[in-house]
Amino acid sequence: MLQLILGGARSGKSRLAEKLAGESALAVTYIATSQPLDGEMNARVAHHRERRPPEWALIEEPLELARVLRETASDERCLLVDCLTLWLTNLLMLEDPERLAHEREALLDCLASLPGEIVFVSNETGLGVVPLGELTRRYVDEAGWLHQALAERCQRVVLTVAGLPLTLKGTAL
């Protein structure tokens, strides 16, 4: 089963995804896409680490998400990817403008063939103000297109607001 958990900052989306992964009765691998490049991001990473059960495996991969999913997915495993918008940002910041399109297509192309359960976490950016700069507008566009493409392929899509899940597609939580 593929699941997409969307929400704003501090909406409870990661906590919900961790709960779903823990309830899956499968071995869990947490795939972290962040690159903690400053003190504030280090604190966020530490907070996520403290919440995770010690038996969960961890893979840190900021760019090649499709490769990691293909190598790690199995019928006995739940993969939790947190988060897609950080992954997208990492790709947008590269000097190679083609890399984002390549990695995005690789991700979307591999989803149908992946075994096991996969829970994706991502920030819903389409509910805020219109960004002023070219890069931030591209980020919002790319995130929106990625979310639409993933939502089409996922069996369940959930929007999380104030810690409350609202099921947009699939069986309700």
The model's confidence at residue 46, banded by pLDDT at 50, 70 and 90, is: confident
- pLDDT of 147: 97
Q: Domain of 31: which CATH number?
A: 3.40.50.300
Tell me: is residue 60 an annotated ligand-binding position.
Answer: yes
Tell me: is residue 72 an annotated ligand-binding position.
Answer: no
Catalytic residue, candidates 47, 48, 102, 147? 48
Dump pLDDT digits (tens) for 5-31: 999 988 999 999 999 999 999 999 999
Tell me: is residue 24 an annotated ligand-binding position.
Answer: no
Domain range for residue 42? 2-169
Number of domains in the chain: 1
Tell me: is residue 104 an annotated ligand-binding position.
Answer: no
| Mean pLDDT on 99-114 | 98
* Beta-sheet strand order (sheet of 156-161): 57-60, 27-32, 77-82, 117-123, 2-7, 156-161, 164-169
Q: Is 102 a catalytic residue?
A: no
Q: How far apart are CA 48 and CA 42, in angstroms?
A: 10
- pLDDT of 35: 83
Dump pLDDT digits (tens) for 155-172: 999 999 999 999 999 999
